[in-house]
Structure 1
């Protein structure tokens, strides 16, 4: 399978700031975006993070914001990690099964019961009305037979919700490894297992059937993690963008590669030797890319590292390929 389209060029120099971190220091992040355009407005989810040891530490706040121009956003809804009694939250994903139906918000966070990542869903007529107290479990480590599942990306296919998420593969641990695996509430930062992307399908947006791994880890720059973050329909199939890392030393600092598919379940990586998109600063991290296609433009949102080590949320507008 060849690349179905030539992915556009994305450069930091041609992008604009959407959300800045609280401080200009390593460990302070604003990013983890996911975006939808409902025909009238952009809906953006994002996360704010503090360094470990700075309370509230790690991913402490997630929000949904709206915009008419895709640049200037105002918050509609937010959740604090304390509302979940969680050590950290990460990516959200919005989807609407019907044009006039409810909005579904999929939120990933560390389960306080076992320190493993999980995904829940919220439902409301408008994103401003999400109620965290009425969330419903979608996936846990136990229900998926993994060491954790997080960072959902969702789209509607034939009326069903198709979800991609990154999992931490289960394997046999020694007693010492088992003690270490979830001690810090983030197995991704231990190097004890690898993190591929799985897919799942649901008729009602709540009860999902797992379809298995669809984007496995590679053999080089993406050998530790391959996290699908975005799917864009093309004339002949689908373009996927994914975060990759070679080892746990690059956890939090992933870079972006490209994959293609004709059926949404079999993905072929077209960047096996290195990432397609990087930041010119620091670690080169450019991750969590998502795209809203509006008219003849791609609105490309991403999180990128800065020269000072902080991460910020940016937007690049490029012609539709």
Structure 2
């Protein structure tokens, strides 16, 4: 039986972690700052959780060296079924993957890859009949970005099928200022097949002077039945890069665009105020019959990042 944690605060119906009671599902490779396990993307299908995540070593030791796909029947104990390493793409680093299943039952992994020696990122897609097959599946470039001096990096996709159309939200970083490539907005794309994407506009942007003004990155899009809502990572400065906190956004002026709710983070690590610890890449997985399982990355006291999970019953989630 799935364990349900005590009530957590919610914002506009969005379940949020408290950052303290989560269970560690993937520990970092070791206990040093810059060593991470996290950036999760999860799918619940036929009673089984499939979880994709990124493993990282510190700067100078390989950075994001692998995306991993694992399975679990309880959402707590995972068995690795596929590993995708950065060398497959000639990439300097990998970041958050997106794991999805097509209506036909094919498995897809959207991989964020960094161009060596630059600040440019692009997105590849792998497709296979099974999660195990992703380890050796051929790849297709689906979001190339633009590596030019006035171009942009694109990474960290969130992919959903809705209303007969594929939707993708990705963090986009302008490359016009080499000293400020950490700035980011979230951009919205649509596709009839999940392969060829068309930009629809900016989905999320923060105003100046806010806690999230330096950059906002949608981490999960949740279908509440009558509307879509989103969780996102935000930061106020370049110094907060890699230690973002979590915010909530609701429907904006057009489908796929969102409006930020509140004047501060909706979820943060308990020690965030004292140490600047991050709680980011929250992925919200809706469960049959109601309730959610949350997966997210959080900073440990030793500076490493670990991947945690919490279960929340739908009836315990209220609007703040």
1:307 maps to 301
2:7 maps to none
On the 8 A contact 1:4/1:236 being kept in 2, the answer is no
2:311 maps to 317
2:78 maps to 73
On the 8 A contact 2:202/2:257 being kept in 1, the answer is no
Per-residue deviation, 1:113: 8.3
**Secondary structure, aligned partner of 1:61:** strand
Measure the CA separation in 1 of the matches of 2:261 and 2:67: 32
**Secondary structure, aligned partner of 2:206:** coil
Pairing 1:97–2:87 present: no
Per-residue deviation, 1:14: 1.9
Question: How many equivalent residue pairs?
Answer: 299
Measure the CA separation in 1 of the matches of 2:304 and 2:71: 24
1:7 maps to 14
Measure the CA separation in 2 of the matches of 1:60 and 1:277: 28
Measure the CA separation in 2 of the matches of 1:225 and 1:157: 26
2:199 maps to 210
2:188 maps to 199
**Secondary structure, aligned partner of 1:130:** helix
Cα RMSD for the two superposed structures:
2.1
1:265 maps to 256
Measure the CA separation in 2 of the matches of 1:122 and 1:161: 16
Measure the CA separation in 1 of the matches of 2:171 and 2:16: 26
Q: Cα 1:317–1:111, aligned 2, differ >3 Å: closer, same or farther?
A: same
Pairing 1:142–2:149 present: no
On the 8 A contact 1:102/1:124 being kept in 2, the answer is yes
On the 8 A contact 2:183/2:215 being kept in 1, the answer is yes
1:105-124 alignment runs, 5 A limit: 105-112=109-116, 115-124=119-128
1:12-51 alignment runs, 5 A limit: 12-51=19-58
Q: Cα 1:192–1:121, aligned 2, differ >3 Å: closer, same or farther?
A: closer
Per-residue deviation, 1:47: 0.8
On the 8 A contact 2:175/2:181 being kept in 1, the answer is no
* CA deviation vs aligned residue, 1:102-137 (integer Å, no higher than 9, x gap): 111110010248551000111111121025561001
Comparing 304-313 and 139-148, the one that deviates more: 139-148
**Secondary structure, aligned partner of 1:222:** coil
Q: Which has the higher contact order (CA 8 A, sep 6+)?
A: 2
1:247 maps to 237
Unpaired segments of 5 or more residues in structure 2? 1-9
* CA deviation vs aligned residue, 1:16-70 (integer Å, no higher than 9, x gap): 11001122221111101011111321110011111112x3x21111101111111
Unpaired segments of 5 or more residues in structure 1? 174-180, 182-189
Comparing 28-37 and 258-267, the one that deviates more: 258-267
TM-score, normalised relative to structure 1: 0.87
Per-residue deviation, 1:196: 0.2
Measure the CA separation in 1 of the matches of 2:162 and 2:218: 17
Measure the CA separation in 1 of the matches of 2:182 and 2:67: 27
Q: Cα 1:26–1:4, aligned 2, differ >3 Å: closer, same or farther?
A: closer
* CA deviation vs aligned residue, 1:190-230 (integer Å, no higher than 9, x gap): 42462000011111111111112110133211111110010
* CA deviation vs aligned residue, 1:59-117 (integer Å, no higher than 9, x gap): 1111011111111111111112222221110011112230x431111100102485510
Measure the CA separation in 1 of the matches of 2:196 and 2:147: 12
Comparing 247-256 and 274-283, the one that deviates more: 274-283
2:132 maps to 128
Measure the CA separation in 1 of the matches of 2:84 and 2:162: 28
